[in-house]
Every structure is written in C-alpha cells, then in structure tokens.
Amino acid sequence: MSSETPLFESVINWIRKGYPQGVSRTDFPPLMALLTRVLTDEQVTAVAMQLVKEYGPREPVSEQQIHDAIKRVTSAPPTPEEVNQVAGRLAAVGWPLLPSRP
C-alpha cells in the first residue's frame, strides 16, 4: 500500500476497482473475511459503511447494523476457495496480499 494514500482510501479504491458495480451478495462474506485479516474491526466497519453509502440500499443503515451484519457474515467463515477468489479479484487491481494481522 502506498504511504501517500491512507489505508482506508486504498482499501475503498481497490474494492471500487475490483467491484465497479458493487460487491455481490456472494462475494460479501469472503470480502469481509479477507478484510478482517488486514484491518481492525473498526476499519472493516468503516469500509462497509462507505460501500453502503456508495452501492447500498436506499434505506438508511446505521453503523450498528453494519457491525452486526459483519459479525453475522464472519461468524460462519467462507471457504478458503471463496476467500482466494475474492483476493484474486482484488489482487488483479493492485490489492497487496498481506499476511494476517497479529
């Protein structure tokens, strides 16, 4: 990731490039699982909030609803193949395949 671009903006930009029409329902769980490997829970929530603002439902969604949805999605982890598929899609637009956060 570029030291000139804040992490949040970098992640959002990679997702925009990898998913120009928005993240599909089937790719959302592995995307959240991938993000939790490199971002804090708060950062993942902030990314999800931004994606909802840009691509989400027309009805307002609260940060707590996003947080709860992320917890539901990540409580049943996606398969390694699903995560690799999403990681590959993001890697094609510059996502650095970083190791899991400590």
**Cα–Cα distance list, 47 to 32, 81, 97 (Å):** 10, 23, 18
Does pLDDT of 3 surpass 80? no
**What pLDDT score was predicted for residue 61?**
75
Q: How many CB atoms lie within 10 A of CB 2?
A: 11
Q: Which of 97 and 27 is assigned the larger pLDDT?
A: 27
Looking up tokens 């993240």 gives 23
**What pLDDT score was predicted for residue 97?**
62
pTM here? 0.71
Confidence of residue 2 (pLDDT cuts 50, 70, 90): very low
| Gap between the Cα atoms of 7 and 96, Å rounded | 12
Q: Name which of 34, 73, 28 is nearest 51 in CA terms.
A: 28
pLDDT single digits (tens) 48-79? 888 888 887 667 778 888 888 778 777 877 88
Does pLDDT of 5 surpass 60? no
**What pLDDT score was predicted for residue 75?**
81
Determine contact, residues 26/73, Cβ cutoff 8 Å: no
pLDDT single digits (tens) 24-41? 878 888 888 888 888 888
pLDDT single digits (tens) 11-25? 899 999 999 988 887
